[in-house]
Structures are given as structure tokens and as C-alpha cells.
């Protein structure tokens, strides 16, 4: 499926700085407001529905036999023409 990247930002940040960004996202979602992402002259405003799909993925990446890079991805996904209701897997727990 093709994709159109509306916004992308990638930079080294401290764990504390990342936590601050995630808190801001959480507070914005909690308030029901639209989420505006900005970096330099780039920006995108998105308005997730009340019940988007929430995907959490942990990955191990790298060349074959040397998969030394780790990542964790948090993704909100929704269809703009959908009612926002979806099925899903089991209950997510983060410890």
C-alpha cells in the first residue's frame, strides 16, 4: 500500500526529552484536541478519532548475522472515513 509521509522528524534525544514529548502527546490525546507536529518549517496537524488503532512494535534490525539495532515504535492509525471502531488483539500492558 503506498504511503504519503505528511511529517517526519528524527534526532538524537535524551530519554527525558523523549518522555516530555510523549507526555505532551498523551495530554493532547487526553484532552481530545488535534495534535500538531512541528520541526523547523515543517508541520502537520492530525485529529485522531476517539478510538484509533494503537500499535506497539519492538524490533531487532541490522544486516544478517549482526542485528544490533533495537527499536520500539508507537503508532496511532485510523481511516479518515471510518467510524473509529475496530477489533484488536489482547490488552496491551507496559511495565
Q: pLDDT tens-digit profile of 3-61?
A: 999 999 999 999 999 999 999 999 999 999 999 999 999 999 999 999 999 999 999 99
Model-level pTM? 0.80
Give the pLDDT confidence of 78-89 residue by residue, as tens digits. 998 865 555 556
- Which residue range is the domain that position 30 belongs to? 15-77
Residue 67 in any domain: the answer is yes
Residue 91 in any domain: the answer is no
Residue 93 in any domain: the answer is no
Residue 1 in any domain: the answer is no
Work out how many domains the chain is built from and give that number. Answer: 1
What distances in angstroms separate CA 26 from CA 35, 64, 95, one per listed residue?
Answer: 10, 36, 17
Residue 66 in any domain: the answer is yes
CA dihedral 93, 74, 58, 7 (to 10 degrees): 180
DSSP 90: S
Residue 30 in any domain: the answer is yes
Residue 84 in any domain: the answer is no
Residue 94 in any domain: the answer is no
Amino acid at each position: 500500500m503506498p504511503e504519503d509521509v505528511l511529517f517526519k522528524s528524527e534526532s538524537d534525544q535524551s530519554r527525558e526529552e523523549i518522555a516530555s514529548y510523549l507526555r505532551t502527546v498523551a495530554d493532547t490525546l487526553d484532552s481530545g484536541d488535534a495534535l500538531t507536529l512541528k520541526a523547523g518549517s515543517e508541520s502537520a496537524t492530525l485529529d485522531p478519532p476517539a478510538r484509533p488503532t494503537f500499535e506497539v512494535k519492538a524490533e531487532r534490525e541490522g544486516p544478517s548475522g549482526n542485528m544490533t539495532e533495537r527499536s520500539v515504535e508507537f503508532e496511532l492509525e485510523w481511516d479518515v472515513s471510518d467510524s473509529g471502531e475496530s477489533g484488536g488483539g489482547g490488552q496491551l500492558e507496559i511495565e
